[in-house]
């Protein structure tokens, strides 16, 4: 009797779909919020604009390195695969452990909640409690925001199960839509905003408790948070058509597009609003839109944030589910997570498992406390992956590399050094969060050895 062939993932992402994954997951909600926070630290609009450009270039340098790895190793799982190849199974496991239980699932929960928060602009009842009780003297409550976020996670997880092509089409449409919203914000700001470029020459009082270098580092972290997501395409490398060609193109095109959009959007903010107004608000986009659209400006920004969050959420679910899938295929996670749907050719079990963890985090409301503590670990992994380029060049010189990092070895070296400096600054400024982030990663070490013992026991 012939053994049925195992279902495999299909290459359903073309250049536009792949570029949409890059740009769509990079452009989230931060561009609508963080410019004011950055100005509070740096005081000068020109410095803020400079940090946006420098952070964009640093992200592009990271993307250039990932382009080489993605073209040479076009496998689902991305960073997990690169870390596994460069440093061994333990490092790969630690990355996947962190992403599955905290980082990626926490990010998905946060993005879904952000979507529902802006949806409540039109449906205020979502902010209310749906159920309250007590258990052992502890008050329990479930809000409309929590239920709405869970519904969004499950809905887009279902879209991703149906097929990578359908998910890619959704990603392309909503990425294009969010770009239209930002372009309109820029164009209408410059044409109807009745502002002044003289605002760029004004300054505000900076953060008194930190020195300039520390303030620059904190502002850069805020900008890098807005650019975060350029690495997600690597996780779906195995589903990109002609990956040797399309992965480098998508990473580079997507990164350059976002840099240009972010720079223009910030320039529009500073044209329409004074630095004092920007530094004094956490909703800079809404304030700018109200300046030239009146009361409908709030609705315009709410719709823009919802579109942006929707595309980012879809891209995160698409990319994140490939990590436990790849680990399971390597025997480092339960084998059930390696299952591919025979008709849809998607990692159905991994998508479902990811949606369950993300939904639980959304329902408990604890994702933010967890996620803020793993930003340090996220950039630690970015640095290690990029450093892996040097390791793999030495260990596997014969590996087919259709694309080689532009500016090697200088460009990846700059990324590794600057990432290291940012990590040191983050640890210095946010020592407790950084420490607990490392603790969360460290919990994967005993989990790894327990898993290895379990595998050895079941194999004997």
Sign of CA dihedral 241, 66, 109, 305: negative
Average pLDDT over residues 398-404: 90
Sign of CA dihedral 216, 217, 218, 222: positive
**Predicted local distance difference test score (pLDDT) of residue 391:** 96
Mean pLDDT, the chain, whole residue set: 87
Question: Does residue 251 carry a pLDDT above 60?
Answer: yes
Express each pLDDT in 78-136 by its tens digit.
899 999 999 999 999 999 999 999 889 988 988 898 888 888 888 888 877 777 766 66
Q: How far apart are CA 332 and CA 340, in angstroms?
A: 17
User: Which architecture, in CATH terms, is 15-452?
Assistant: Up-down Bundle (1.20)
**Predicted local distance difference test score (pLDDT) of residue 392:** 95
239 or 381: whose pLDDT is higher?
A: 381
Hey, what are 165's tokens? 């092509």
Q: Domain-by-domain residue ranges, the chain? A: 15-452
Band (pLDDT 50/70/90 cuts) for residue 3 is very low
Hey, what are 414's tokens? 């700059």
33 or 345: whose pLDDT is higher?
A: 345
Express each pLDDT in 278-301 by its tens digit.
998 878 888 899 998 888 888 888
Q: How far apart are CA 202 and CA 35, in angstroms?
A: 15
Nearest CA-CA partner of 48 in 34, 67, 65: 34
Average pLDDT over residues 352-365: 91
Hey, what are 399's tokens? 């590996």
**Predicted local distance difference test score (pLDDT) of residue 372:** 65
Band (pLDDT 50/70/90 cuts) for residue 154 is very high
**Predicted local distance difference test score (pLDDT) of residue 281:** 83
For Cα atoms 395, 422, 366, give the angle at the middle one, nearest 5 degrees.
100
């Amino acid at each position: 009797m012939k053994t049925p062939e195992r279902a495999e993932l299909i290459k359903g992402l073309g250049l536009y779909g792949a570029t949409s994954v890059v740009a769509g997951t990079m452009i989230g909600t931060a561009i609508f919020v963080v410019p004011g926070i950055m100005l509070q630290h740096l005081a000068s609009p020109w410095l803020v604009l400079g940090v946006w450009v420098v952070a964009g270039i640093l992200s592009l340098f990271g993307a250039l390195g990932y382009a080489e790895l993605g073209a040479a190793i076009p496998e689902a799982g991305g960073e997990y695969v690169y870390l596994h190849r460069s440093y061994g199974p333990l490092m790969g496991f630690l990355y996947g452990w962190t992403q599955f239980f905290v980082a990626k699932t926490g990010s998905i929960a946060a993005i879904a909640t952000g979507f529902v928060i802006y949806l409540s602009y039109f449906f205020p009842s979502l902010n209310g409690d749906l159920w309250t009780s007590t258990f052992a003297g502890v008050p329990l409550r479930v809000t409309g925001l929590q239920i709405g976020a869970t519904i969004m996670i499950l809905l887009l997880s279902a879209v991703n199960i149906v097929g990578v092509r359908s998910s890619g089409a959704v990603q392309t449409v909503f990425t294009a839509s969010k770009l239209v919203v930002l372009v309109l914000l820029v164009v209408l700001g410059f044409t109807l905003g009745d502002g002044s470029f003289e605002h760029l020459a004004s300054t505000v009082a900076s953060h008194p408790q930190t020195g300039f270098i520390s303030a620059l580092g904190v502002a850069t972290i805020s900008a890098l948070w807005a650019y975060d997501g350029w690495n997600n395409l690597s996780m779906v490398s195995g589903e990109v058509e002609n990956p040797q060609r399309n992965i480098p193109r998508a990473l580079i095109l997507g990164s350059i597009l976002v840099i240009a959009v972010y720079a223009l959007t910030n320039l529009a903010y500073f044209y329409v609003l004074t630095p004092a107004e920007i530094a004094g608000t956490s909703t800079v986009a809404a304030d700018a839109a109200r300046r030239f659209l009146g009361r409908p400006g709030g609705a315009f920004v709410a719709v823009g944030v919802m579109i942006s969050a929707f595309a980012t959420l879809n891209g995160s679910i698409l990319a994140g589910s490939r990590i436990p899938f790849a680990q399971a295929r390597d025997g480092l996670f339960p084998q059930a997570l390696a299952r591919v749907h025979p008709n849809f050719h998607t990692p159905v079990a991994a998508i479902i498992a990811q949606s369950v963890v993300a939904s639980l985090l959304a329902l408990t409301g604890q994702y933010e406390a967890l996620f803020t503590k793993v930003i340090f670990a996220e950039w630690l992994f970015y640095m290690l992956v990029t450093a892996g380029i040097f390791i793999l060049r030495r260990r596997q010189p014969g590996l087919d590399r259709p694309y080689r990092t532009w500016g090697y070895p200088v460009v990846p070296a700059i990324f590794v050094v600057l990432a290291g400096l940012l990590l040191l600054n983050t640890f210095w400024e946010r020592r407790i969060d950084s420490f607990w982030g490392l603790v969360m990663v460290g919990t994967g070490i005993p989990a790894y050895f327990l898993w290895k013992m379990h595998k050895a026991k079941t194999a004997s």
